[in-house]
Amino acid sequence: RCMPVSAVHPAFTAAIIHLLHIKSTGNNGRSEAMRCLYICVKSLYEMNVNWNWANRSIRAILSLAREWDIDIWAHGLAQEINEESRRQFERYEMDDLVVFPDQGSESSFEHVFSLDDIFESWTYDQCFGESSLDFFV
């Protein structure tokens, strides 16, 4: 808990390296890479109480793991994360929602887009040259 904010970056970088190792090597060395990834993610959750920056790293790791079909929760990681850290990440995720009024509907509901969705739309646009950010149309 007394870690400097600069500790977030190496933990995040190591987690990405372990994710890449899991993704690219198949079964050879996968269990060791999962163990190391587990340690990195757990440490980022422990840092997120003091350093909100750790939440961005956690979100990026979860997003990559989901994209690459890697189940980081399969080995009991969720039980190792304390309640305070879990809630801190949930608050971070809730604060990350962008709300746009739904102009085409009679109901009072609004469209909610996470910043991850907006970023993914933007990166898709950058890769394929189409305008996928039609949130304001």
Residues in the chain: 137
| Euclidean distance between CA atoms 124 and 130, whole angstroms | 8
pLDDT digits (tens, 9 = 90+) for 23-33: 887 777 788 89
End-to-end alpha carbon distance in the chain: 45
Q: What is the pLDDT of residue 16?
A: 94
Torsion of CA 20, 26, 32, 37, to 10 degrees: 30
**pLDDT at residue 131 in the model:** 46
Q: For the chain, list residues with pLDDT below 50.
A: 109, 130-137
At residue 132, the pLDDT reads: 44
Name which of 5, 99, 95 is nearest 57 in CA terms.
Answer: 5
Do 94 and 87 meet the contact criterion of CB atoms below 8 Å apart? no
